[in-house]
């Protein structure tokens, strides 16, 4: 996939609609707790500002619900404040993403200045899926009208929101579709993601090891099946390992499982053979509590306990595989890592991935939880690439097309 980038266009005096992924976590006071995604957007923003463009930044934040979809706890106003600090210039904020206020703020922009629109998902039309819109003329009109209103604010469209590229949100797909007579390009963040992920899939150094965690087999079945064709080993952790264990007849106590996926789990296991590595032990407890007594279970988990992390033997075997790896892809934690002591497995894997990278391996970490684990273990600077899009990177590894990128200008 080769697309035109912001290096291929001139933006001086042009209004540039820039779709970013500024979906940052906020605490109860509305303060940003991790500005990684804001900082990741800075190279593209600065390049366009240096080109004397008038930037209209837009993003979603969280998943607003309700009829009006306006949630004061999910406003992008704190993001505008943080952007202003990082850029060293004022970033005007529009409390509406379309309409009179947004138009006034955009009209008042000077060359080399940017503004930020309010959370796109405050508008119900942003998240209407194309499949539903196709069957409902009213939904289609709502989606098209919203895209048209956004298009009125810009002369050029830039997509640098990799984390949302697998979605058919209006700002990601409908908007560039209707801007056919205007330039539509990608920013530096997407360009880097496509290059890194593309290189890994096209020509991985071997052994190629994938680490997949998380809660559900159903969330990862597509990427497991795709990676079976490419990887030498797939290491499974997280709650989805319980589904594999239960499907094989092992007792898993109160552990989270997907009974309706047992047949699928067994089919994957049979197809994968020794490529698929599953936990041989687990850390179990009666509840998710940092003060609770834990137990190492080498096989069956007692009825009153649940598996909450991979055990010491599994950690040892997984780390051994990673020490031999030349290419590593990791998505999903090994346990309930947010609550110690159930973070031990995830942190051990993080350090093993970093050690392998130091020894020459290429490592790619995708997903918010995995990235958080990398940060918590203090090894972020020892990882080759930390993707900004967990779901998007999984879809890419599956080989799924990104229509939001397909509609943009080819190089």
Whether 37 is catalytic: yes
Domain limits for position 22: 6-192
Residue 403 domain-assigned (yes or no)? no
For 268-296, what is each residue's pLDDT tens digit?
999 999 999 999 999 999 999 999 999 99
Residues 185, 307, single domain; the answer is: no
Q: Same domain for 246 and 147?
A: no
178 shares a domain with 40:
yes
- pLDDT, averaged across the chain: 94
To which H or E segment does residue 386 belong?
strand 385-386
152 with 220, same domain? no
Closest CA to 95 of 76, 73, 111, 79: 76
Of 227, 261, 229, 220, the C-alpha closest to 397 is: 227
Q: How confident is the model at residue 299 (pLDDT cuts 50, 70, 90)?
A: confident
Query: Helix, strand, coil: what percent of the chain each, to 5?
Result: 45, 15, 40
| CB-facing half-sphere around the CA of 347: CA atoms within 13 A | 13
Residue 391 is among the residues annotated as catalytic for this protein: yes
pLDDT tens for 3-25 read 999 999 999 999 999 999 999 99
- The encoded tokens of residue 16 equal 């540039």
Q: If residue 16 lies in a helix (H) or strand (E), which one and from where to where? A: strand 15-19
pLDDT in tens, 257-268: 999 999 999 999
Residue 121 to residues 67, 71, 75, 97, 312: CA-CA distances in angstroms? Answer: 12, 10, 10, 9, 43
Q: Residue 197 domain-assigned?
A: no
* DSSP string across 136-163: -HHHHHHHHHHHHHHHTT-SEEEE--GG
The long-range contacts involving 70-75, CB below 8 angstroms and separated by at least 24 positions, are: 70/122, 71/122, 73/26, 73/30, 74/26, 74/119, 74/121, 74/122, 75/30, 75/118, 75/119
Considering the candidates 37, 121, 143, 261, report the single residue annotated as catalytic: 37
405 pLDDT above the threshold of 90: yes
Residue that terminates a domain, selected from 162, 192, 222? 192
Q: Which is catalytic among the residues 275, 368, 382, 400?
A: 368
139 within domain boundaries: yes
Considering its fold, how many domains does the chain have in total?
2
261 and 281 housed in the same domain: yes
For the record, the structure tokens of 122 come out as 């405050």
Nearest to 32, CA basis, from 44, 40, 42, 22: 22
DSSP 409: P
- Is there a catalytic annotation at residue 154? no
Q: What is the pLDDT of residue 401?
A: 84
Are 185 and 300 part of one and the same domain? no
Band of pLDDT at residue 322, cut at 50, 70 and 90: very high
Q: Residue 344: give its domain's CATH number.
A: 3.40.50.1260
Q: CB of 123 within 8 A of CB of 146? A: yes
For residue 411, tell me if it sits in a domain: no
Pair 167, 270 in one domain: no
Q: Is the pLDDT of residue 390 over 90?
A: no
- At 314 the pLDDT is 98
Measured between alpha carbons, how far is 286 from 293 in angstroms, rounded to an integer? 8
Q: Which long-range contacts (CB under 8 A, 24 or more apart) does 267-272 make?
A: 268/217, 268/221, 268/224, 268/225, 268/228, 268/244, 269/244, 271/225, 271/228, 272/224, 272/228, 272/234
Residues 178 and 240 grouped into a single domain: no
Domain end (from 163, 192, 221): 192
The answer to whether 53 is a known catalytic residue is: no
**Residues 377 and 231 both lie in one domain:** yes
pLDDT confidence tier of residue 389, bands split at 50, 70 and 90: confident
Residue 63 CA, distance from chain mean position: 14
Query: Is 199 contained in some domain?
Result: no
In a domain, 148, yes or no: yes
From 67-71, 126-130, 373-377, 390-394, the region with the lowest mean pLDDT: 67-71
Do 341 and 242 reside in the same domain of the chain? yes
3-class state of residue 383 by DSSP:
coil
The helix or strand, by DSSP H or E, that contains position 316, with its residue range, turns out to be helix 312-324
Q: What are phi and psi of 356, to 5 degrees?
A: -65, -40
Q: Does position 67 have pLDDT exceeding 70, yes or no?
A: no
For the chain, percent of residues with pLDDT exceeding 90: 83
One domain for residues 188 and 227? no
pLDDT of residue 66: 60
**156: Cβ–Cβ under 8 A, 6 or more apart, which residues?**
9, 11, 14, 15, 16, 17, 53, 182, 183, 184, 185
* pLDDT of 1 strictly over 80: no
- Quickly count helices (H) and strands (E) in the chain: 15, 15
- Choose, from 62, 112, 222, 391, the residue flagged as catalytic: 391
Confirm whether 276 is domain-assigned.
yes
- What is the arrangement of strands in the sheet containing 276-277, beginning at the earlier edge strand? 276-277, 233-236, 208-212, 327-331, 362-366, 385-386
* Residue 1 is assigned to a structural domain of this protein: no
Phi/psi-derived region of residue 30, left when phi > 0, alpha when psi is between -120 and 50, beta in every other case: left
Q: From 160, 192, 224, give the residue that closes a domain.
A: 192
Cα torsion through 7, 36, 382, 47, rounded to 10: 20
Nearest in space to 61 (alpha carbons), one of 20, 9, 109? 20
Which residue out of 36, 77, 216, 275 is catalytically annotated? 216
- Give Dmax (Cα) for the chain: 67
Same domain, 165 and 261: no
| Cα–Cα distance measured from residue 404 to residue 408, given in angstroms and rounded to the nearest whole number | 7
pLDDT of 85 above 70? yes
pLDDT at 55 over 70: yes
Q: Which two tokens stand for residue 43?
A: 């190279």
Question: Quick one: what percent of the chain has pLDDT higher than 70?
Answer: 99
Q: Is the pLDDT of residue 72 over 90?
A: no
pLDDT digits (tens, 9 = 90+) for 145-185: 999 999 999 999 999 999 999 999 999 999 999 999 999 99
> CA quadruple 398, 403, 408, 411: dihedral positive or negative?
positive
pLDDT band at 68 (very low <50, low <70, confident <90, very high): low
Average pLDDT (218-243) is 93
């Amino acid at each position: 996939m080769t697309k035109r980038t912001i290096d291929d266009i001139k933006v001086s005096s042009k209004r540039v609609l820039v779709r970013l992924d500024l979906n940052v976590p906020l605490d109860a006071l509305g303060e940003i707790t991790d500005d990684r995604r804001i900082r990741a957007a800075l190279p593209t923003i600065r390049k366009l500002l240096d080109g004397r463009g008038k930037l209209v930044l837009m993003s979603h934040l969280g998943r607003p619900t309700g009829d009006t979809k306006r949630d004061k706890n999910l406003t992008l106003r704190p993001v505008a404040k943080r952007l202003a600090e990082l850029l060293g210039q004022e970033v005007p904020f529009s409390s509406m993403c379309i309409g009179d206020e947004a138009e006034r703020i955009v009209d008042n922009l000077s060359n080399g200045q940017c503004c930020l629109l309010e959370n796109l998902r405050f508008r119900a039309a942003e998240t209407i899926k194309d499949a539903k819109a196709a069957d409902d003329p009213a939904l289609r009109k709502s989606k098209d009208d919203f895209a048209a209103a956004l298009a009125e604010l810009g002369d050029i469209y830039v997509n640098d929101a990799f984390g949302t590229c697998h979605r058919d949100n209006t700002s990601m797909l409908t908007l560039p579709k209707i801007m056919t007579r205007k330039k539509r390009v990608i920013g530096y963040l997407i360009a880097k993601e496509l290059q890194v992920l593309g290189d890994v899939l096209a020509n991985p150094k071997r052994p190629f090891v994938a680490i997949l965690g998380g809660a559900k087999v159903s969330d990862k079945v597509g990427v497991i099946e795709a990676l079976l064709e490419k990887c030498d080993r797939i290491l499974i952790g997280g709650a989805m390992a319980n589904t594999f264990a239960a499907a094989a007849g092992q007792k898993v106590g109160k552990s989270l499982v997907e009974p309706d996926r047992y047949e699928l789990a067994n089919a994957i296991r049979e197809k994968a053979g020794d490529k698929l590595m599953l936990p041989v032990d687990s850390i179990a407890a009666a509840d998710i509590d940092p003060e609770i007594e834990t137990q190492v279970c080498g096989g069956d988990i007692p009825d009153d306990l649940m598996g909450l992390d991979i055990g010491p033997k599994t950690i040892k075997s997984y780390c051994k595989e990673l020490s031999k790896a030349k290419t590593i892809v990791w998505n999903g934690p090994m346990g309930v890592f947010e609550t110690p002591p159930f973070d031990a497995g995830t942190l051990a894997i993080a350090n093993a991935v970093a050690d392998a990278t130091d020894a020459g391996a290429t490592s790619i970490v995708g997903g918010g939880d995995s990235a958080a684990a990398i940060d918590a273990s203090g090894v972020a600077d020892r990882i080759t690439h930390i993707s900004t899009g967990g779901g998007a990177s999984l879809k890419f590894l599956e080989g799924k097309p990104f229509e939001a990128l397909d509609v943009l200008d080819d190089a």
